[in-house]
Structure formats: C-alpha cells, structure tokens
Amino acid sequence: MGIGFVAGIVLNFFLSEFYILNNKITSAKEVETGTQIPLLGMIPASRNSAVSLFHVIDNPKSIVSEAIRTLRTNLEFFNTGNKSKVITITSTVSGEGKSF
C-alpha cells in the first residue's frame, strides 16, 4: 500500500508538471475560444530547410507566402475607422519566429 501511495504521488507530480510546462498553442481554436481577441491570421511552419530572409520573393506560390499575404490584407482592413493602430507580436519563448 505504501508503494502504491508513493507511486501515485510521483505519477501525479510528473503529470502535473507536463500539464504546467505545456504552454504551446496547438490550434487556432484555442486562441479563438480562450480570448476575446480576433485572430487575424496564422502562418504555418515552413517545410523549406533553407532559411531565407525573403521567403515571399523566393517562393511566391507557397502556402507560407499566401498566409503572409492574407495576414497583410486582414491587417489593412482591421480597425479601419481608428487612426492609431498598434500591433503587438509576442511570445514567452525565444526562437518562435516573431522576426520572420
């Protein structure tokens, strides 16, 4: 009974740590249901192994390029009545592609 109790405590600790450390957004539905902020666009991960600073110019018909164009269009039409526009792109972890 003692071994089962200790195993339950250890298992509970590891499962709770996995839940706490899982801080990634896995779908657009999580953003839409979790916040009242409108989702203007999503840029998928590029499967291209070569890193390019000009992805849209180098690959004009790729899915990533089309997603960037869609986001640009949505940003142009978002909040057209207001003069001042502030857009924040942030994350908690470095290396997630904010500068892309």
Nearest to 43 by CA among 27, 66, 63, 67: 67
Domain locations in the chain?
2-77
How do residues 44-68 score in pLDDT, each as one tens digit? 777 766 666 777 788 888 888 898 8
Distance CA(98)–CA(93), nearest Å, equals 10
pTM: 0.55
Distance CA(15)–CA(52), nearest Å, equals 39
How do residues 1-49 score in pLDDT, each as one tens digit? 999 999 999 998 888 887 777 777 777 787 777 777 777 888 777 776 6
